[in-house]
Structure 1
């Protein structure tokens, strides 16, 4: 088999057996294709079964000149998964990535928004257009439920359980969780759904998708990023923000108002509490308030 055949088999394994998202599978695929390009450009003819650690080290060294440490770590992680898969399928007996270490990277804490900044962002939406009502409902849901961008664009009408006060979210690895949703967020969704969505074009296959584009199809990740970036520019927000900023703000504001980490972990859909701790960093001012409020020597 050639690299292409192995790659297709690996993609099926990631999707079906590991249940990874399309975005993750695409990233793994891109990194392996990059390795194939490197082999072709350097005249190296070797199969996935025979490639050795030295050749992969050459590839990683070449890549390190083009990408940052975080991207290098992702590439190495993807290659390790690929060769582990080959061992699992008995195509190889060893993993050439075994002794290759990923670069050390710090935990990058994204910008968080104050409640006032989120209000300004949403207030900047032009509600005279059909897209405006959709965008308001979408941003309110992103912030109100702490969703990932992949979760908001795939949210279904059948996932809305407003009488019970929850929405069903399908997250990474197709894992499902129920997240509480506020009455105010429900109101904006219902307004969009009943006055805009129900009177617009709905493409075949997207009848149950909540947030639709002008053609009646599912929004793309890039479109959601663009909507938020444009609003930030409109209000002269001097922060580099994305849809994930609203998710991070959701977690941070919950913690600042007394929510416990375990509850936040469940709402965010994190497998490990350690991951949740990355998102919910607090500024020193808030920590000082906590100490003065709760420490027995506060007086």
Structure 2
């Protein structure tokens, strides 16, 4: 496995400015909470789609993440800004029988395709380069931003599962 620094030469990621531009275009409460959760925890679209309401404990400020592709699932602290966005989204969201955290507009569990389509739309509005119009770039971005902030590769790996 290559060291993360070597991978930085080939992966597509967003700069801090591009992340800010992207989030400036996201006004919808569900989508802000969705993409903040993806970015802060380095989630894959399929991983965020697995989240249930019961996985989020705002009182304890904890979130349970289920990792795929051999990642390590576990409980993480909720970042303050993500907690605020999740709280606003959940307050607005209708109370229904769905256990999924993020629902589509049709009130079904949000799909990976819907997440990809939403991201592509916001990335286009933020005038990001077309080769960065994939939600997985958020996973790459948080890894780069953590390394730039002085976190170790082990810390990045732990955060991204």
Band of TM-score, shorter chain: 0.7 to 0.9
Deviation at 1:151, TM superposition (A): 1.1
1:146 corresponds to which residue? Answer: 42
Query: Which of 146, 158, 164 is 2:54 aligned to?
Result: 158
Whether the 8 Å CA contact 2:58–2:87 is kept in 1: the answer is: no
1:251 corresponds to which residue? Answer: 143
Deviation at 1:115, TM superposition (A): 1.4
For 1:190 and 1:225, locate their aligned partners in 2 and report how far apart those are by CA, in whole Å: 23
- The structure with the largest helix share of the pair is 1
2:101 corresponds to which residue? Answer: 210
Which secondary structure state, in structure 2, belongs to the residue aligned with residue 240 of structure 1?
Answer: helix
Q: Over aligned residues, Cα RMSD in angstroms? A: 2.0
2:17 corresponds to which residue? Answer: 116
Asked which structure has the greater CA Rg, the reply is: 1
Whether 1:228 aligns to 2:119 is: yes
Deviation at 1:239, TM superposition (A): 4.1
TM-score normalised by L of structure 2: 0.85
1:77 corresponds to which residue? Answer: none
TM-score normalised by L of structure 1: 0.47
Deviation at 1:134, TM superposition (A): 0.7
Query: Which runs of 5 or more structure 1 residues have no equivalent in the other structure?
Result: 1-106, 270-299
Q: Deviations over 1:123-144 (max 9, x none)?
A: 112x3xxxx2111111111111
